[in-house]
Amino acid sequence: MSRFLSSRYRDLEAYTPGEQPTDMQYIKLNTNESPYPPSAAVLEAVNAEEVSRLNLYSDPTCKKLKAALASLYGKKSENIFVSSGSDDILNFSFMAFCEGSKRPVRFPEISYGFYSVYAELHGVDYTAVPLSEDFSINVEDYCHNDATVVIANPNAPTGIALTLAEVEKIVTSNPDQLVLIDEAYVDFGGESATVLTDKYDNLLVVATFSKSRSLAGARLGFAIANEQIIADLEKIKYSTNPYSINRLTLLAGEAAVRDNGYYMDNCKKIIEMREYTQKALRELGFYTTDSKANFIFAKSEQIGGEELYLALKQRGILVRHFTKEKIKDFNRITVGTRDQMDALLEAIREILGRK
C-alpha cells in the first residue's frame, strides 16, 4: 500500500477471483465459464475489418445491442442497460441504490463474494443474512425490509434457486426498496424475473453474457428494469466510463443475441451433464445441493474440501474451493463437456481409491 491511498480504502479487502493459471493446461472447472465456444455468428461479427476500426470509439448508447436484447426479452430499449460484465452493473447498482446507513443492503451470507466487497467499497452498511441449514434462502428474511435487497438467483455457490413466486413475494413485500436479482446463472434451469419488470418499479434484474452465452472473456453484462432505474444506472455509467463496452464486444453481444438458439441448446447440454455428474458424485458418497446452475456444489463424506481441491489440481483439474468456515468442506465444480466430466469423475475415483 502506498502512502497516497485514500483512507477510505485502506482496510478494503478486494474480491479474490478464481484462478486463471498460465503455467499449464488445466481442465478448468473453477470459474463457471461455458465449455462451448461463441457461435459462428460471433466469430463472423468480430472480424479483421472491425478490428481495423478500433481507432474509433464505441457507441456509448449501445443502441443496436440494447435493441436486440429488448426484442429477445419483449421489452423496450429504455428498459435495458448494458456494461462491461455484470460485475460492472452490480458495482453501479451499489453506488446508485445503496447509501451508508440511510439505505443499507441485505444479501445472503453465503452468496457471490463481491456483494460485501461493493458494500465496503461504497461505505454501505450491510447485513449478510445466514442461509437455512440446507443452504436454501429463507424468503421471509427478505420480506418487509428497510434495505436494498440483493439476491443471486440461482444462488452461488450453492446453485439453489428461488421460484418466480418467491421472488415476486420479496418484490411485493418491499414496495419502497429496490430488489436486485442477479441472474448470472438463470439460463441453466432457474425462472427469470425479467417477466416482472413491467409490473414492479422496484425490481432490477442483472444478467451476464459470461456463462450461458460463452462470452466471459468479452466482458458483457445487461440489466432489465423500469425506465427510471435504467436511467439511474446510465447516469452512473456516464459519470465513470461511457465507452465501457468496446466495439468488438458490442458486435459479439449483438450476434450472440441473434444466435440465442445455439446458446440455449448448449444450456440444455450443460443441464444434462450436471445431472449426469451429480448422480455419479452421489454414488461416490458425495452430498450435492439441488443445483439449477452450471456448477455443482459438492461435499465428500471421505475427503475434506481443500484436500480434494488440491488433489484434483495436482491431476490438472481446477475446481473452486472457498475457505469460508460454513462451506469449507465443499467444492464448486463447473459443469463442462462429457469428456471433462468423465475426466473429473475418473480423477475423483482415483483420489478416493474407488477404482
- Tell which one of 35, 38, 85, 108 touches ligand PMP (CB under 6 A): 85
- Tell which one of 95, 124, 131, 152 touches ligand PMP (CB under 6 A): 152
Cell numbers placing 275 = 445431472
Q: How far is the CB of 184 from ligand PMP (least distance, A)?
A: 4
Tell me: does residue 208 bind ligand PMP (CB under 6 A): yes
User: Smaller CB distance to ligand PMP: residue 88 or 168?
Assistant: 88
Q: How far is the CB of 287 from ligand PMP (least distance, A)?
A: 22
> Which residue from 201, 144, 189, 128 is spatially nearest to 164, judged by alpha carbons?
189
Tell me: does residue 216 bind ligand PMP (CB under 6 A): yes
Tell me: does residue 128 bind ligand PMP (CB under 6 A): no
Q: How far is the CB of 250 from ligand PMP (least distance, A)?
A: 15
Cα(299)–Cα(327) distance, rounded to whole angstroms?
Answer: 9
Q: Which helix (H) or strand (E) holds 327?
A: none
- Tell which one of 105, 184, 250, 308 touches ligand PMP (CB under 6 A): 184
User: Smaller CB distance to ligand PMP: residue 336 or 348?
Assistant: 336
CA angle (334 as vertex; 332, 335 as ends), nearest 5: 130
Tell me: does residue 143 bind ligand PMP (CB under 6 A): no
The 10 Å CB-count burial string (b at 16+, else e) for 228-245 is ebbebbbebbeeeeeebb
Q: How far is the CB of 354 from ligand PMP (least distance, A)?
A: 31
Query: Which string of DSSP letters, residue by residue, matches 102-123?
Result: TB-EEEESSS-THHHHHHHHTT
Residues 331-350 that bind ligand PMP (CB under 6 A): none
Tell me: does residue 210 bind ligand PMP (CB under 6 A): yes
Based on the number of CB atoms within 10 Å of its own CB, is 49 exposed (0-12), middle (13-18) or buried (19 or more)?
Answer: exposed
> Which residue from 13, 213, 232, 250 is spatially nearest to 113, judged by alpha carbons?
13
> Which residue from 315, 297, 347, 296 is spatially nearest to 26, judged by alpha carbons?
315
Tell me: does residue 221 bind ligand PMP (CB under 6 A): yes
Where does this chain bind ligand PMP (CB under 6 A)?
Answer: 85-87, 112, 152, 156, 182, 184, 208, 210, 216, 221
